[in-house]
Structure 1
Amino acid sequence: MRIALIHYHLRRGGVTSVIMNQAQALMEAGEDVLVITGEGEASVPGIKRVLVEELRYDRDRETLPGTSGEELTKRAKELADAIVLAAKTHWGGQEADILHVHNPLIQKNSALLRALHILQEREPRLLLQNHDLAEDFRPDVYAKGEEYPINCHYAVINNRDRSFLHRAGLKFEGLHLLPNEVRSINATPDLVRNRYLYPVRAIQRKNIGEAILFSLFIPKEKTVAITLPPTTERDIRIYRGWMEFVRELDLPVEFELGMNTSLEDVYGSALGIITTSVKEGFGFSYLEPWIAGRTVIGRRINHVCRDFESSGVQFDSLYSSLNIPMVYISSTILRKKLEQTMMSVYKRYGMDPPRYIIKMMGEDLASRDVMDFSRLDETTQGGIIRLLVSNQRVFRDIADVNPFLRDLVNWKPDETVISLNRRRVLESYGREPIHKLLRETYRAVLNTPVTHKIVKSILLELYLDPTQLSLVGVGND
């Protein structure tokens, strides 16, 4: 089988790791694989990679591309032609049997959706795998005015996205669940384990303020350690603000631990692996630590964890919310911020928010005695942390409504659960089971024609739940 794996770029981490794992697994099974990408340094050992300039991110081009209808159509044809040429050159004049395109509905290249429509007319089999969806509070990458490809196969990485896409019009026979393969991580043995490790790039949706709050409740002489800095200008600005905040209050938080220390060593020095993220597509952070013999502790993302629990993975050190009594929050200011953000989100999607949305947000806030810390903006989060540092009564109040925080000082990992979870993760998300699912999906793409389409307005309504709006989780690239 001739398979072309297509993505905007190959850079370390994220979707790139998924593509590299898929390519290696397919190659080991004897498939003929070509990786087509717009840019990037990462390579797949033993796999041919072709750079197609037309596939690059719009923002990485020397000049901004035109956005008129005629210009987009011209660029889309050039992109489709370049993909076909890359495949034919590699396969001696033959086209791919399957074009497996990663994250095509996230508009990083404004010509890609139109290029996929053109490619469909030439009868290649398309599999569009979505790791993220722009409708999930990511208006910055939403393809306004562009229809998503119809009558082709789609794949997603969690059951919530599968359910939403089905409700928005896709049939299950053309909509596949393709979880990611979980890589092995080794922890260096015999190191002093004195950190609660947050092994992430510190972008805004990772909810860094909550990790900092976490540091106030851990035993003395222990730290919270965040491994990597962000790379985008907006995230860097927020990140530097938190670094200065930590220095000012002299909090036990380390930044950029992973810049000069190996992943094996940072894991080796960890008591446990924390997560405070408000949004994940697949959720590697809930699975990888068990492979390294470390417990996952922190914030639970329900739709992600439910998938893993159905495979037998146990999470007994997670909380669903970190409750802050409303007495410590200005409800008037918070309501204004939430409403303005929601209206801005809708505007950026090219829509006006329905009246009931704002009404629902107001009623939800008015009914609350507590608010989840993750829904607050960085300024409000910082104010809560200052109160915790300076006022013992506030500290006791917040500890009382969050038993997990109160008990952190005595927390210890459960080696029996670690051993069980390690086995379950490998059984369900190791190379063999994930590659089996991939092969089954390819067979369906080749043998099962589908007639369906996504109704974008329905999909948008399913994701934009105003009661779940997080001020640190709204997409801004």
Structure 2
Amino acid sequence: MPVVIAHSHLNPGGVNRIIESQIDSLQGEEIKVLVGACPDGSKIKSKNAELHIIPDLNYLERRKYTDQEAMEMLHKIHREIREHLTRDTILHFHNLNLGKNPIVTYAVYLLAKEGVKVFNHAHDFAEDRPSNYSFLEEIIYDNFSQNLNEVLYPNLPNYQFGVLNSFDFDRLKELGVTEDRIEWLPNPVTFDASDDLPEKQVAKQAVCKELNIDADKLLVTYPVRVIQRKNIGEFILLSILFRHRANFAVTQPPQNPLEFEMYKQWIKFCNENEIDIVFEAGQKVNFENLLRGSDFCITTSYKEGFGMVYLEPWLLDTPVVGRDIDFITRDFKNDGFSFPTLYYKLNIPGIKTDFKYLNLKMQMEIISAIISGKIEKHKLFEQNSILNTLFSDVKLYITEKNKTIIKNNYSLQGYGIKLQKRYKKMVG
């Protein structure tokens, strides 16, 4: 069964990892990968998949287009995708509806109208990103005079969807997609911990020595690329509250130039206020050793597509604490997962709004006020009782139970079986 996996790019990140996992899980199938950009295609090629770079699939420049410009691009993209398809091909497109390239979205819709079997793998939704949704409207409604909902969620038996969680499953049903055309496809956890891992304390000593930090303190790591929705300000605030007990590290810088200015401002702020965050720790030490040596992994993110950060660290015996995203974690909890200390809100004395909703300037002002003593630390602990137990010891049986659930419910093999069943159903 020929499968064409498509995405706007293969830049390092979550979708790229899932594409690699899909190829691994579909061994024996004939697979092509179509992307707009690819910094390093060696992993894809090493998996015996054909790789084709089609620059027109990449993000579309955000500007006004004339009807003629849009139509010319549409015909070109339609042709470029069509030439890789046969009658039985499954076109498995990632984040097609996100609004990064509305002309690609419309081209694939037209291909589906022609009978192409489309599997729209939705990691994120334009409905959650107003500027993306506006861009879709500008192109699909203004340039092509098409109903946006019909293009995004067509009522076609050969146009089916994959979602990462039950929340998005229900969302698609509310948007008019029938249940039989939706596959609930949680991401596989493919983090392959080495068999010869050092003892946790040995790993911690080595990592702390490499990072030049005090190994007698807790090591708290945020295994993330710093972008807006990861809410790095909250992570920095927590580092202030627990600076006497813990070292805080975050693993990767942003790649998107639009995010980099925010990142530089936070680094400058930390330097000016002598806040000892270890930035880019994942580039300074071995990532697996870092997670193994950490006492806790933390997340302060307020938006996730799947939430891999809640799962992977447990495989290295590292508990996960931090901010809860209920529509993400509810699926894990329904599987039997135990999370020792997650919180839904961070209250600030004198502020009515959850800290996550504040802009960068206000977050910096609050952190400065905590450092100067204008906001007393003990009041934060009084208003957020979860902080008193945030870094409490986690029982061994909880760690072992969570590891077992990951291995049983989120395996690559199970993922591949689900995918192949859905493909076969589509081919008939």
TM-score (norm 2): 0.86
User: Aligned AA for 1:113?
Assistant: T
Give structure 2 stretches of 5+ with no counterpart.
142-147, 206-214
Contact 2:124–2:305 (8 Å) recurs in 1: yes
What is the CA–CA distance in structure 2 between the aligned matches of 1:213 and 1:66, rounded to whole Å? 41
Match of 2:14 in 1: 14
Identify the structure with bigger relative contact order (alpha carbons < 8 Å, sequence gap 6+). Answer: 1
Q: CA deviation at 1:67?
A: 2.0
Whether 2:327 is the aligned partner of 1:303: answer yes
Match of 2:395 in 1: 414
Whether 2:424 is the aligned partner of 1:403: answer no
Match of 2:168 in 1: 161
Stretch of structure 1 that moved more, 37-46 or 188-197: 188-197
Match of 1:202 in 2: 226
SS of aligned partner of 1:246: helix
Q: 2:59 aligns with which of 57, 60, 64?
A: 57
Match of 1:355 in 2: none
Q: Assess, with a 3 A threshold, how the Cα gap between structure 1 residues 149 and 372 changes in structure 2: closer, same or farther.
A: closer
Stretch of structure 1 that moved more, 256-265 or 50-59: 50-59
Q: Assess, with a 3 A threshold, how the Cα gap between structure 1 residues 117 and 70 changes in structure 2: closer, same or farther.
A: farther
Contact 2:299–2:320 (8 Å) recurs in 1: yes
User: Aligned AA for 2:190?
Assistant: R
Stretch of structure 1 that moved more, 142-151 or 101-110: 142-151
Q: Assess, with a 3 A threshold, how the Cα gap between structure 1 residues 213 and 219 changes in structure 2: closer, same or farther.
A: closer
User: Aligned AA for 2:179?
Assistant: F
Match of 2:152 in 1: 148
What is the CA–CA distance in structure 2 between the aligned matches of 1:385 and 1:66, rounded to whole Å? 41
Please show how residues 376-455 of structure 1 align to structure 2 within 5 Å. 376-391=358-373, 394-408=376-390, 411-447=392-428
TM-score (norm 1): 0.78
What is the CA–CA distance in structure 1 between the aligned matches of 2:241 and 2:389, rounded to whole Å? 8
User: Aligned AA for 1:390?
Assistant: S
SS of aligned partner of 1:127: strand
Q: Assess, with a 3 A threshold, how the Cα gap between structure 1 residues 239 and 393 changes in structure 2: closer, same or farther.
A: closer
Q: CA deviation at 1:158?
A: 1.3
Deviations 1:129-174 (A, max 9, x none): 1100011134235411243251121221111111112112111011
SS of aligned partner of 2:242: coil
Q: CA deviation at 1:58?
A: 2.1
Stretch of structure 1 that moved more, 48-57 or 175-184: 48-57
Contact 2:153–2:175 (8 Å) recurs in 1: no
Q: Percent identity?
A: 29
Deviations 1:40-62 (A, max 9, x none): 02332221212223222224xxx
Deviations 1:247-295 (A, max 9, x none): 2221231111112322112213311100000100011111111112110
Stretch of structure 1 that moved more, 152-161 or 180-189: 180-189
Instruction: Point out 4+ residue stretches in structure 1 off by more than 4 angstroms.
Output: none
Please show how residues 256-295 of structure 1 align to structure 2 within 5 Å. 256-295=280-319
Q: CA deviation at 1:107?
A: 2.0
Q: Paired residues, what number?
A: 392
Match of 2:79 in 1: 81
Q: CA deviation at 1:65?
A: 8.3
Contact 2:292–2:317 (8 Å) recurs in 1: no
Q: Assess, with a 3 A threshold, how the Cα gap between structure 1 residues 96 and 66 changes in structure 2: closer, same or farther.
A: farther
User: Aligned AA for 2:100?
Assistant: K
Give structure 1 stretches of 5+ with no counterpart.
88-93, 330-369, 448-477
Match of 1:174 in 2: 181
Stretch of structure 1 that moved more, 415-424 or 141-150: 141-150
Q: CA RMSD in A?
A: 2.1
